[in-house]
Structure 1
Amino acid sequence: MAMALRPIDNALPTTPERPKKQTKVAVPMQKQQSGLVNDENQAPLPATADFAIDYISSENLKPISDPDLKIQSLSEGFESKDWVKVCESLNNVRRFALHHSALLAPTLENVVVVLVKAMKNPRSALIKTSIMASSDIFTAFGDGLLDSAASNAFDQLLLQLLLKASQDKRFVCEEADRALSSMVQSLTPLPLLQKLRAYASHGNPRVRAKAAVSIASCVAKMGLEGLKDYGLVSLVQKAADLLNDRLPEAREAARGIVMSVYNAYTENEEEKLRENEEEKPEKQEIWLSFCQSNLSTIHAQSMVKITSSQ
C-alpha cells in the first residue's frame, strides 16, 4: 500500500540562508576641536563648561567697586542668553545683598523672580548659583521678603527650594538644604511657619519631609506664646500625621516638633502651678492630659511615648 504524501503545508520549515556578513569599512573620525582633542598624555577635559563656574562662599564675596553704576546694568545680565553671564549677574546679586542691600531693595521682588527662573533651568550651575544667592538674600533682607510686594515671589522661591532639596543631585540638594536653613534662621518663625504649613501636606513625600524639617526648626525657635498664636492643637495634630509618614526624615522632624511643644507647654504649666502654690504633677501627666484632650487615643499614646523616651 502506497504511503500518503504529507501535505505541503505541514512540511518542516526550511532554515533561511544566513545573510553574508558585510565587510566593515573603517571610517576615520573627524578631528575634534583643538581645545577638546583627546591626548593620552593629557588629563581628560570636562564634558561641560559647568566646571568653569566658581561657587564663591558668602564670606569671600567682596563689595562692588562702583555699586551705583553696576545696579543699573544688573538686569541686562539676567536677560543674557549666555548662562555664564547670568551666573555672573547672580553672583553680583549676592554682592549687592551682602554689601549694598539698600541699592538692591527696590528691585527685590524682580530679583526673587529671576532666582526662581534660574532654579527652573536645567543647567546645574545656574541652579546652584541661584540657590546660593537666595541664602544671601535671606540673610540680608529677612522678613522684608514677606512684605506684601514680594510675598508672592517668596512663595514661588520657597516651593523651588523645597523641590531642589528633594532632588537626587547631591550638590544641588545640599545647597538647597543650606538655603532653607538660612531662611529659618533669618525670618521670624511664626509667619514663616504659616507659609510652610501647606507643604507639610504636599503630595511629594520628599517635599513633605523637607517642609517638616523647616517647620521643626521654626518651632524650636518659638516660645509658648508664639506656638499658641500659630495653634498648639493644629501643630501637634500635624506632628501626629507626620509621625506616620513614609520617610524617616519626616518622622524625625515630627518628633522634634513634639519635643519642642512638650517642653514649652509643660514648663509653662509647671510655672502656673508654682505661682498658685499648687501641688505640681509630673510633666508626663500634664502632657498626657493635653494630648488626650486634643488628639485621638492612638495619637495621644504616640505623643506620650516620644516624650517619655527622652
Structure 2
Amino acid sequence: MSTDTIPGSKASSPNEQRNATDFQFLNFSHPSDAKDSRARKTVRSHVTKQQHQREHAAAAARRTQSFPQPEDRVETDDIPAPRPHAATYPSNRPAMDDPDMDMPLPLSRITGSPEESSQSPSPISSPSEQRIDPSTIYPAAWRSSLNTVTEYYLNFMAADMPDMERPDRRGLLRSRFLPLCLTDPAPLHAFVLMAASHYGNANGPQSHNIDIQHLRSMAMSEVNGALQHRSRSLSDQMIAAVTMLASYEALSGNHDIFRTHMTGLRQMVGMRGGLPALGVDGILERALLWVDANAAHITGSRIYFDNNTFPSSVEHPRPHPRRFSGGSPRRQSP
C-alpha cells in the first residue's frame, strides 16, 4: 500500500503515520475465493504480524519505564566490547496480556534479600534493587511451566550445598543468591534458563513449554546490553548471570561459548578486585568456583580461577558431575 499523500488531503503527522494500520489488499476474481484456505492463511498471518508489532512496541515502552538506563558509559578501556553475536539476539521482551497474570509464582515465595545481614556487601550493585515480577516479562504460554521448573529448582537444586555454603551460615543459596537474581533481568533469565534446563534433563525436553533458545537469547541480550553501562557491567547480578550462563553452555556441550563466558568472568572479577571482593556473603565466590571446578571436569578444560592468579578465601571444591548436571546424566541438546 502506497504511503504517498493523496492530493488535496491533509498530510499525516509522524505519530499518526506510526500508529496507522498497515493494510494489505487481496485480489479475488470471484467472491468465493475469499474463503480459500490460502486467503485465510494470508489474513491470519497479517493480523498476527500486526499484533506482534503492537505488543513489541508496548513492551519496549514498559521496559523504558521499568528499567531506565543510566547515561554514564563505560570507557572502551574499562570493559571488553560486546561479542559480535550480540546483534543476533532480540532486544524486546515478550508482552504479557494474560488477565490471570496476578497469580504469584513460586519465585515470589523466596524470602531474604541480596544484602540482608551482609558482612561483605558488594561495592557495585545493579541500578535497581526492586524485585522483578517474573509474570510480567515472560510469555503467557510459559506460565504453567515457570511454576513447574521453579518448584523443581527450589525443592531439588537449591537445597543446602556444602560446597556453596558458608560453614557458619546455611541456606544462603535460597535466602541470598536467589533473591539477588530477582533484582535484575539478566540473572533472572539465567536462573530460569538453568531451572528449565535441569527440569528438562530430568523429565525430558517436552516436559515444559519454555522455549529454551528464546530464553537463552533474552539472557544474552541483557548481559551484552549491561556491558555498556558502568552501573551494571561489574555488579554482583551480572557476574551471577554470566556464571549461570557459563554453566548452561558447559552442560549443553557448547564449549567455545563456555570458554568465552569464563574468559569474560576472569576480566570482570579482576576489575572488581578479585574473588574476595564479590558480595552476597561469599556465596557468589563459592558459586563461581563450583562452576569452574565442575565445568572444567566435564569439558576437559583448565581451571580458570586458579589460586595463583585469583587468590580465594576458599579452595576449589571437588567436582560433582551428577549434582552439577541436575541429578541426571542425560543432557538437553542446545
Query: If the length of structure 1 is used for normalisation, what is the TM-score?
Result: 0.31
Relative CO higher for 1 or 2, CA cutoff 8 Å, sep ≥ 6? 2
Query: If the length of structure 2 is used for normalisation, what is the TM-score?
Result: 0.30
Q: Give the structure with the higher percent helix.
A: 1
Larger Rg: 1
